[in-house]
Amino acid sequence: MPQCEPKTQPLSCASGAPKCLIAAPDAGDILAALVHQGLLTPAQVHVAVTSAEVAQYIGEVDIVCGKPAWLAPHLHLAQKLRWLQSTFAGVEPLMVAGLPRNYQLTGVKGIFGPLMREYVFGKLLEIFRHFGCYHRQQQQTLWRPHAYQGLAGRTLMVVGLGSIGAELVHTGQHFGMRTLGVNSTGQSGLPLDGCYALDDLQQGVGSDALASADAIVFALPGTPALTGVVDAQFLKALKPGAVLVNVGRGQLIDERALLAALKAGQLQAAVLDVFTQEPLPEDHPFWRAPNLHLTPHISALTFTADIARIFADNYQRFQAGKPLLHAIDFARGY
């Protein structure tokens, strides 16, 4: 299938109800929710609960709702596809060069912010208030208080000011933190204490801002242009003793550079929920790196009810020929 611009005509199907494919481990539950709402009938929908099953059905359908990594290998078979609703926030597998782009792609937004803020601030509180240390002392029956400064008065820098970044900014302000933001333009409608363009920070402009951040959180998408954006030079510009958190994409960080910074004691801690390779190999040096907090990509899980709600809303728009919500720009990758 040749690449071309996504269809811009109304997306409603004139010849009856569109055929759909739901491709996800919980596809049956998503379908049940949509049938319960009266939006779809089982006769309209194919269900794939493994990646291999996608190939059986994707050539027959107008609409796909599914996991990008499952869909990408079979996308060349999707001769009738008009709209694809991702069940993940990240759509990187569908951005690979050579894959068809002559359909409308929509993502998942607005549901991960509350979960992300719980994760990020849970870890920041654990680190700054020494909760992990106290738990270890409990195992040793050791009573030893440690001096601390709370979050109030500290500086939080959020890199990536989409819906998740906005949640983090507002929560930081709730805790009394000074908040700085970073995005592609250096401009934002959020009530920040300062906003910077990522390109400027990489070139040394605004280095004082980097050096002032007690915590820096990355909530950026994974695009080729952002690969390795957190390199040795970027890390060196951070405030000694800062805490770095990545809930965006693993490829944002130069892993060797981060390991070196941790071993040198440059950072108080790093918190990583995403990695270049997942699952993280057992022999990866991150497992043994000092002051590194690892979690297995669980900061914000996708819940069936949320996916069903987003798909249902967009499906009604699809049928009415209205613009779909959370449209993905193929050129930008998000």
Residues recognised as catalytic: 249, 278, 297
HSE, side-chain direction, 13 A CA sphere, residue 243: 22
Beta strands in 260-333 (DSSP E): 267-272, 292-294
Q: Is 235 exposed, middle or buried (0-12, 13-18, 19+ CB in 10 A)?
A: buried
The torsion angles phi and psi of 232, rounded to 5 degrees, stand at -60, -40
CA distance 223 to 186: 19
CA distance 48 to 52: 8
Q: How far is CA 218 from CA 10, 50, 240, in A?
A: 37, 31, 18
DSSP state at residue 121: H
The torsion angles phi and psi of 146, rounded to 5 degrees, stand at -125, 140
